[in-house]
């Protein structure tokens, strides 16, 4: 039987956990001048790259413009890699905090239904969403599934509201394929 107070409790704990992890991130990363400078460099290079890509290519400048775009893209990848390295300690601390929250909730909510979804998910999601619950009603969700979803959503909302993260749509991914790559 679904108890809405348990669901609200899990979401409340996710909010507290998200605030806690963002405080840890602030202490370990965001307040330092080196992070602020790196973030500023990423935003500046991203703006330059967007301007360079939006400039109309003239017949004689195509080669030099492509070279400039490639240099800026590689520079952005390097800066993003540096940013990822700065966040490594914070990522570990955040994982430990999330593990602690999970363990604490598991003691009181293991085997308790805290959510219900309107469809039966495919097998991989079923193993995650129905973890620790008795029975075969796979539309029921355990606290672990709700906690994970709530923390992911709340973390993104918190980071966007605080403005600590560089804009994702402007920064190229390290794993992105090259611009001239064509599938076979």
Please report, for the chain, the start and end positions of each structural domain, with discontinuous segments joined by +: 4-162
Number of helices followed by number of strands (H, E) in the chain: 6, 2
Per-residue pLDDT tens digits for 121-155 = 888 889 889 988 998 899 999 998 999 999 999 98
Per residue in 112-130, pLDDT (tens digit) is: 899 998 999 888 889 889 9
Pairwise CA distance, residues 142 & 22, whole Å: 25
- Could you give the angle at the alpha carbon of 27 between the alpha carbons of 26 and 32, nearest 5°? 80
Q: Using CA atoms, how far apart are residues 155 and 43, in angstroms rounded to an integer?
A: 21
Question: Is the entire prediction scored with pTM above 0.95?
Answer: no
- Report the half-sphere exposure of 147 (CA within 13 A, side-chain side): 25
Mean pLDDT of 105-111: 87
What is the predicted pLDDT for the residue at 170?
47
DSSP helix, strand, coil percent of the chain (3-state; round to 5):
65, 0, 30
Q: Are 147 and 10 in contact (CB under 8 A)?
A: yes
Both tokens assigned to 92: 């570990």
pLDDT digit string, tens, across residues 31-76: 999 999 998 999 899 888 888 877 766 556 777 778 888 898 999 9
Beta bridge partners of 116: 140
């Amino acid at each position: 039987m679904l108890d809405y107070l348990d669901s609200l409790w899990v979401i409340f704990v996710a909010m507290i956990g998200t605030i806690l992890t963002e405080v840890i991130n602030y202490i370990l990363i965001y307040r330092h001048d080196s992070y602020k400078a790196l973030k500023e460099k990423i935003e500046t290079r991203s703006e330059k790259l967007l301007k360079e890509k939006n400039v109309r290519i003239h017949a004689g400048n195509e080669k030099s413009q492509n070279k400039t775009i490639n240099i800026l893209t590689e520079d952005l990848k390097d800066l993003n890699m540096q940013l990822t390295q700065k966040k490594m300690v914070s990522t570990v601390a955040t994982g430990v905090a999330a593990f602690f929250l999970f363990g604490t909730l598991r003691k009181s909510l293991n085997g308790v239904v805290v959510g219900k979804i309107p469809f039966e998910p495919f097998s991989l999601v079923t193993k995650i969403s129905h973890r620790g619950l008795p029975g075969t009603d796979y539309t029921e969700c355990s606290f672990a599934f709700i906690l994970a979803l709530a923390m992911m959503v709340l973390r993104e909302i918190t980071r966007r509201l605080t403005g600590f993260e560089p804009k994702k749509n402007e920064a190229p991914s390290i794993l992105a394929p090259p611009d001239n790559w064509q599938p076979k």
